């Protein structure tokens, strides 16, 4: 085959997915995305139970020993690895495309977009929380830094643990699924893509545990995932990078950790609505202006 013929093959029309993008196809993909996330977390959650079969393992991994943090890091990484592998398999065999098309690629500006997303999400959460009426006093010692007088190694490991929890276990796998694969698959109908992926991502957080005390509070809590989901989508549209969305999602968690550690506590429901409302407003502005300017979803820019 000549080089020109090879180029023609490479630049020809992309193969059609094995599953359509009508209502049934969209619904099935959402179910698969939720299932992938559930499987990854269940597997990571079950593995620690097997440690009871190893004599002395529970004692070794208890408390704040380095081994305990190492085990937690492995489990956090396992969630990400399982999600990436399953998305890769789905993209290859069902979508008939590369996982890179769903945003799983790293370029020269990826770290910039990641950090920008973290800054926007964390700063907006901290500022909103800081101006809300306090219902208590500022903690004597930052919770995320351990007990007062904790050894520097323990503090460093705690910080790494929170970062791993925010990114390895939550933001990267969830964004790959919802703002990566699902948003990309519906990219030819951008408004539908934004609405469907945002609502699907929001609804699954009905089962999240964020301090809710009643069924109604579980509903109010949805303001948070809705808000940063819209913000993540807006950042992705403007930057063309999935890593901006990852930064927003991870930045939300990092901002939450910081606010809980150094700011006075506020009413939970009020903070959910306020933070979610502010982030959703910023996100809606970004989404609307991006679509008006012709920005496209994961169009191979980075």
The Cα–Cα gap between 232 and 118 comes to 10
pTM score: 0.90
Q: Are 259 and 210 in contact (CB under 8 A)?
A: no
pLDDT at 52: 56
Nearest to 195 by CA among 154, 226, 241, 162: 226
**Closest of 24, 43, 31, 23 to residue 85, by C-alpha:** 43
Joined together, the tokens standing for residue 274 give: 């306020």
User: What 3-state DSSP class applies to 241?
Assistant: coil
Is the four-CA dihedral 263, 269, 272, 275 of positive or negative sign? negative
Residue 262 makes CB contacts below 8 A (sequence gap 6+) with: 138, 139, 142
DSSP-derived 3-state class of residue 64: coil
Using CA atoms, how far apart are residues 143 and 237, in angstroms rounded to an integer? 35
Supply the DSSP symbol for 81.
H
> Between 149 and 136, whose confidence is greater?
136
Q: Which phi and psi (to 5°) does residue 193 adopt? A: -60, -45
Share of the chain above pLDDT 90, in %: 69
* Distance (Å, whole) CA 33 – CA 182: 8
Lowest mean pLDDT among 58-67, 73-82, 197-206: 58-67
Record the tokens describing residue 123, joined without a space: 């700063």
| pLDDT tens-digit series, residues 140-188 | 766 566 666 667 777 788 888 899 999 999 999 999 999 999 999 999 9
């Amino acid at each position: 085959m000549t080089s020109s013929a090879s180029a023609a093959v490479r630049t020809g029309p992309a193969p059609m997915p094995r599953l359509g993008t009508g209502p049934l196809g969209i619904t099935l993909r959402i179910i698969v995305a939720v299932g992938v996330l559930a499987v990854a977390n269940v597997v990571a959650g079950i593995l620690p139970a097997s440690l009871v079969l190893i004599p002395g393992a529970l004692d070794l991994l208890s408390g704040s020993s380095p081994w305990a943090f190492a085990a937690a890091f492995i489990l956090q990484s396992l969630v990400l690895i399982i999600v990436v592998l399953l998305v890769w398999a789905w993209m290859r065999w069902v979508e008939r495309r590369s996982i890179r098309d769903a945003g799983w690629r790293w370029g020269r500006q990826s770290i910039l977009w990641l950090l920008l997303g973290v800054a926007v999400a964390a700063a907006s959460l901290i500022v909103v929380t800081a101006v809300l009426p306090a219902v208590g006093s500022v903690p004597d010692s930052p919770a995320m830094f351990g007990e007062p007088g904790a050894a520097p190694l323990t503090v460093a490991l705690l910080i790494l643990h929170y970062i791993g929890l925010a990114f390895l276990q939550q933001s990267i796998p969830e964004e790959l699924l919802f703002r990566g694969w699902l948003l990309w698959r519906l990219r030819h109908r951008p408004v539908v893509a934004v609405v469907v992926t945002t609502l699907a991502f929001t609804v699954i957080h009905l089962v999240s545990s964020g301090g809710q005390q009643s069924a109604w509070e579980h509903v109010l809590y949805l303001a948070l995932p809705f808000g940063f989901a819209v913000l993540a989508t807006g950042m992705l549209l403007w930057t063309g990078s999935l890593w901006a969305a990852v930064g927003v999602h991870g930045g939300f968690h990092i901002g939450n950790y910081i606010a809980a550690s150094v700011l006075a506590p506020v009413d939970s429901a009020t903070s959910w609505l306020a933070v979610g409302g502010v982030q959703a407003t910023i996100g809606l502005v970004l989404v609307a202006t991006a679509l008006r300017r012709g920005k496209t979803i994961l169009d191979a820019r980075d």
